[in-house]
Structure 1
Amino acid sequence: MFSTFLSSSEVCLASILILLVHSTLATTLGGNNKINVKDPRIQEILEWTESFIDRETNSVNSVKLFSVIDAKKQIVSGVKYDFDLELAHTSCPKISANDSKNCGFDHSLPHVACKIQVYDQPWTKTRKVLKFSCSDSPTVEPFMKKFETFEKRHKKEYSPEERKRRFAIFKENMLKIAELQKNEQGTAKYGPTKFADLSEEEFKKQFLGFRPDLKSSSPLWPVADVADIEIPEAFDWRDHDAVTPVKNQGFCGSCWAFSVTGNVEGQWAIKRGKLIELSEQELVDCDTLDQGCNGGLMENAYKSLAKLGGLESEAGYPYDGRGESCKFNKTAVRASVTGGFVLPKNETLMAQWLVRNGPISIGINANAMQFYFGGVSHPWKALCSAGSLDHGVLIVGYGVHSVSHPWKALCSAGSLDHGVLIVGYGVHSVSHPWKALCSAGSLDHGVLIVGYGVHKTKFLHRELPYWIVKNSWGRGWGEKVGYLSKNFLLDYRRKRPIHGYYLVYRGDGTCGVDQEASSATVM
C-alpha cells in the first residue's frame, strides 16, 4: 500500500539508499574503507580531482587520470577520500580549449604518481583538498615485471635486441589495455593476452583479414526475408549440435574463411542432421575472389564456393595456414553450397533469423579483442568502429549479463551491440566497450555468431544482452581459466568452459556487429 504513494523516482531513490546502507554496513564503521571506483559518484569526484591536479602541476601539457592505484573513504562530518593515482601527460597544451577527454596520452613523458586527500560535504556543497603530493611514477619497473610474467606464461623467447623491441611494444599495449578497461561499459576484462607483444600492424596482418575493400560494386546476394517470430531470452546453436570446436587460423589472415566454414558447417548440420568439420584451406587456396592469408570477404567466398560446388572436409583438405596451389577435388565435396544472402542491419531481425535458421557470419572491429580476457565486451565506438571491420567471425548465440551503469541510469532501460558467426544466445558476462573505442566504421575481423543471452545484475536486476561469438584464435584465447571468477568461466546453464569465444554487447551495433552479417545457402 505504501508504495502506491511514492512516485517512480522516489521508489528508485529509496532503492538506491537501501543499497547504500547495505553496502555501508558491510564495511568497517568509521574506518578507512575501500571504495568502488566505478561508482558514478566516485567517478565525478575523480574527475574533479583530476582537474585539480592538472591545475597544480607545472607541465606544459595537461595531465589526465591513467589508473587508480588505491581508493578509500572515511565517513566523518562528510566524507574523506584518500586516492593513490597515476596520471599521464596528454598531447594537449594546458592553454588549449580541447576537452581533455579528446586528448591522447603522450607516452614519451613519464607518468605522474599522486597521493591526494579530498574532503567532501555534499549537503553544504563543500569540497576541498586536504593533502596533496605528486612525483614522477616509476612505470618501467611494474611494466617489466608484467612483461617477465607474460614471457613465462606464453613461453616467449627473443634475442636481446628483439626483446628490447617487444618490451617497448608491450608497454604501449599495456597503456591501450588501461584505456580500454577505463572506458569499458560492460563487464569485460582486458589484459596481456598472447598478442600483447605485437604491434597493431603485426596483429592486423597475422590474425585478422576481413577485407571490405574486396566488396563488389554491385550486391552479390539478396537481403534475407526474416520471419517476425517471438524469440526466447537465450539461444545457442551449440546446444543443437550445429557448431564444431573452436579452431585456430594461426599466422594467416584467414579469419574470413573460418567464419564461412563455421557458417556452412551450421547450415549443413541443421539441414542434413550431420555436423562435419569443413576445410578452410580449400578457401585459402582456391577462392580466386579473395586473397588467402592476405584477407577476404565472406560474401565473395559464397560465390566462389557456389562455382566450385562446395567444401571438402577438414580431414580431406587439412589446414596448414599458408596460401598454396589449389588441390580441390570436386568428388570429395562434403557440403554443397549454392549461394548466399545478407541480413538486415538490425540486431532484433538478426536474432530472429538466427533462431529459425542457424549461425551467422559477421565482420567486426577487433580493436577490443586483441587484449580480451573475458566478460561482456562493450567498448566505446571510437575504439571499436563499425566502419572499420577487420575480422570475420561466427555468432553462435546471444544472451544477457549483469552490468554496472551510472546512477542517472539506475532507473532507465539499458541498450544493446563484432564481425562473427551468431549461433545462439544465453546468460553470461559480456564485453561492452565505449563505441568511441570500437567504431563500427572500421571492421577488420570475420567471426561467427552462434547464439545470444542476457545477464542480469545481482542487486538492481538490470539486463545486459550479448551475442555469443565463435572466434578462430584457438582455445587459449578469450574466456579462460586463471583470469576471471567461476561465473565468467562457465556458461551458467550448461556449466561448460567457453574457451575461444567472445561475448559482445547486443543491441546498439557495438563494434559493427550488425554491419556485415550474412550466410551461405546449402543444398
Structure 2
Amino acid sequence: MRGDQLCAVFVATVSTLVFPLRCQERSSDDSRTDFGSFREQIHRLHEVNSEEFIRHLYFQNSTERHAYLNSISTTPHSAKYGTNQFSNLSQKEFRELYLRTISDKAPLFSGLKTEGLPAKFDWRDKGVVAPVQNQEACGSCWAFSVVGAVQSVHAIGGSQLEQLSVQQVLDCSFQNEGCNGGSPVRALNWLKQTRIKVVPQSEYSYKAKTGICHFFSQSHGGVAVKNFAAHDFSGQEEAMMGQLVEHGPLAAVVDAVSWQDYLGGIIQHHCSSHWSNHAVLVIGYDTTGDIPYWIVQNSWGTTWGNEGYVYIKIGGNVCGVADTVAAVYL
C-alpha cells in the first residue's frame, strides 16, 4: 500500500476527532522524538505495530489541538494547553473513559448572598482537604467528588481529616452505574436515604473497577450524611462563594471536554456549560487578582493540571461550574 493510501486509511480511523489530522509529509524527526519522550514519560509502551501508529496519529493530532487552544488563550494568567497523560487518547476515548458523570437538573438558588466574604478563601489552609486522588480508567469522578465533600465537612466539624472509601460509594450506590458513570446528586440522595456510613479508605480500598458491595453493621464506624442541598448558581456565583465558605467544599458537575489538554492557569475560554460530564470538588476561590477564579480539585492525579487542581474563572458560568452544585450536611 502506498504511503498516501496508508495515511488516508488512518485518517478515516480518527475522523471522529474535532481537529482533523493533516496528511502531509513530516520531514523532521522531531515528532518521532517527542512521541518517544512522551511514551517514556507516562509509561505507555507499545510494540511497533498498528496500535502504536494510531497512538502516534492521536499524539500528533493533539499537538495541533494544543496550538489552536493556546492561540486564543492569550490574556495574562490564561490556561495553557499541551502534552500530558491523555495526549495519546482520541477525544472520543477520553470522553468515554473519564467524562461519565450524569448531570441532574438542580433548582435555581433562591437564598440570600452571604455578606462580608473574604477576597480569598481556600479550605486547604484549614487542613480539611485530603490529597488529590487518581480515578484511573474508571468513570468514578462522581464518587470522588461526593466522598471528597463528605470527608472535608466531617473534618470541618472537628474530626481528624481521614480519607473515606470512594470504592464503597462506587460499589453500593445502586442509583448509579459504578465505573460507567453516575450522578453526585443521586449518590448523596442514596447516602441520605439509607444513612449508610462511609467507612475509611483503609477498610475499603479503591480498585478502579466496579465491584460487589461490602456491607457493614450499623454499629460500624464511618461517616453518615444527614442532608445535602443541590442548587443551580448560574448568574449567582457570589452566592456560591458564600455557600462554600459557610458549608465547606462543594461537589460540582462541569463540562471538562477541553481539560484533556489542560496544563495549568485559569480557564477562561474553550469551556462551555452545554454538556456537563465530569464531577469535581470546589475547595476555594481567589478574587484578589485581575481574573477571579475558583480553586477546583480534580481526580486525575497530581501530574495533571496545577498539581491535580484546575482554576476556573469566576463569572459567566465557565465550564458550567455553577450549574449543579451540592453542599453536604453531616
1:454 aligns with 2:271: no
Which of residues 333, 337, 340 in structure 1 aligns to 2:228?
340
- Could you report, residue by residue, the CA deviation over 1:107-142 in whole angstroms, capped at 9, with x for unpaired residues? 3444xxxxxxxxxxxxxxxxxxxxxxxxxx847644
The structure in which a higher percent of residues are helix is 2
Output the CA distance in 2 between the equivalents of 1:141 and 1:222: 54
Please state how far the C-alpha of 1:201 moved relative to its aligned partner.
2.1
1:326 aligns with 2:159: no
CA contact (8 A) 1:237 1:358 kept: yes
Instruction: Give 2:314's aligned residue.
Output: 506
- Could you report, residue by residue, the CA deviation over 1:322-351 in whole angstroms, capped at 9, with x for unpaired residues? 111100314334111123211341211011
Output the CA distance in 2 between the equivalents of 1:181 and 1:448: 26
1:349 aligns with 2:239: yes
Output the CA distance in 2 between the equivalents of 1:442 and 1:140: 39
Output the CA distance in 2 between the equivalents of 1:448 and 1:139: 45
Amino acid aligned to 1:197:
N
3-state SS of 2:85 partner: coil
Please state how far the C-alpha of 1:308 moved relative to its aligned partner.
4.3
- Could you report, residue by residue, the CA deviation over 1:244-294 in whole angstroms, capped at 9, with x for unpaired residues? 111111111000000000111111111234322111001110000000000
Instruction: Give 1:201's aligned residue.
Output: 92
Please state how far the C-alpha of 1:305 moved relative to its aligned partner.
1.1
Output the CA distance in 1 between the equivalents of 2:110 and 2:185: 13
3-state SS of 2:202 partner: coil
Output the CA distance in 1 between the equivalents of 2:240 and 2:82: 31
Output the CA distance in 1 between the equivalents of 2:130 and 2:98: 20
Instruction: Give 2:72's aligned residue.
Output: 183
Instruction: Give 1:439's aligned residue.
Output: 272
Normalised by the size of structure 2, how large is the TM-score? 0.86
Instruction: Give 2:45's aligned residue.
Output: 157
Please state how far the C-alpha of 1:508 moved relative to its aligned partner.
1.5
Output the CA distance in 2 between the equivalents of 1:271 and 1:222: 27
1:147 aligns with 2:2: no
- Could you report, residue by residue, the CA deviation over 1:344-398 in whole angstroms, capped at 9, with x for unpaired residues? 412110111111221011011112221111111222xxxxxxxxxxxxxxxxxxx
1:171 aligns with 2:60: yes
- Could you report, residue by residue, the CA deviation over 1:422-447 in whole angstroms, capped at 9, with x for unpaired residues? xxxxxxxxxxxxxxx21100111100
Output the CA distance in 2 between the equivalents of 1:280 and 1:252: 12
Amino acid aligned to 1:506:
I
CA contact (8 A) 1:193 1:373 kept: yes
Instruction: Give 1:91's aligned residue.
Output: none
CA contact (8 A) 1:173 1:196 kept: yes
CA contact (8 A) 1:470 1:500 kept: yes
Unpaired stretches in structure 1, ≥5 consecutive residues: 1-103, 111-136, 380-436, 457-462, 480-498
Please state how far the C-alpha of 1:512 moved relative to its aligned partner.
0.6
| CA-atom RMSD in angstroms | 2.1
Decide whether aligned partners of structure 1 residues 139 and 267 sit closer, same or farther in structure 2, where only a CA change above 3 A counts.
Answer: farther
Output the CA distance in 1 between the equivalents of 2:101 and 2:240: 20
Q: Which has the higher contact order (CA 8 A, sep 6+)?
A: 2
Please state how far the C-alpha of 1:174 moved relative to its aligned partner.
1.5
The aligned runs of 1:102-501 (5 Å cut-off) are 107-110=21-24, 138=26, 141-161=29-49, 162-184=51-73, 185=75, 186-212=77-103, 215=104, 225-306=111-192, 307-330=194-217, 331-345=219-233, 346-379=236-269, 437-454=270-287, 456=289, 463-479=290-306, 499-501=307-309
Counting aligned pairs with the same residue, the percent is 31
Alignment length, in residue pairs?
A: 306
CA contact (8 A) 1:309 1:338 kept: no
Please state how far the C-alpha of 1:299 moved relative to its aligned partner.
0.5
Output the CA distance in 1 between the equivalents of 2:292 and 2:65: 26
Output the CA distance in 1 between the equivalents of 2:27 and 2:286: 40
3-state SS of 2:37 partner: helix
Output the CA distance in 1 between the equivalents of 2:140 and 2:155: 23
Please state how far the C-alpha of 1:455 moved relative to its aligned partner.
5.6
Unpaired stretches in structure 2, ≥5 consecutive residues: 1-17
Amino acid aligned to 1:177:
H
Please state how far the C-alpha of 1:472 moved relative to its aligned partner.
0.6
CA contact (8 A) 1:339 1:520 kept: yes
3-state SS of 1:438 partner: coil
Decide whether aligned partners of structure 1 residues 364 and 284 sit closer, same or farther in structure 2, where only a CA change above 3 A counts.
Answer: same
- Could you report, residue by residue, the CA deviation over 1:450-483 in whole angstroms, capped at 9, with x for unpaired residues? 0011363xxxxxx11111110111112112xxxx
CA contact (8 A) 2:20 2:61 kept: no
3-state SS of 2:58 partner: helix
Please state how far the C-alpha of 1:198 moved relative to its aligned partner.
0.7
CA contact (8 A) 1:223 1:341 kept: no
- Could you report, residue by residue, the CA deviation over 1:276-322 in whole angstroms, capped at 9, with x for unpaired residues? 21110011100000000001101000111121423111111111111
Please state how far the C-alpha of 1:224 moved relative to its aligned partner.
7.3
Output the CA distance in 2 between the equivalents of 1:334 and 1:105: 47
Decide whether aligned partners of structure 1 residues 329 and 222 sit closer, same or farther in structure 2, where only a CA change above 3 A counts.
Answer: farther
Instruction: Give 1:81's aligned residue.
Output: none
CA contact (8 A) 2:56 2:88 kept: yes
Output the CA distance in 2 between the equivalents of 1:139 and 1:360: 50
CA contact (8 A) 2:113 2:238 kept: no
Normalised by the size of structure 1, how large is the TM-score? 0.55
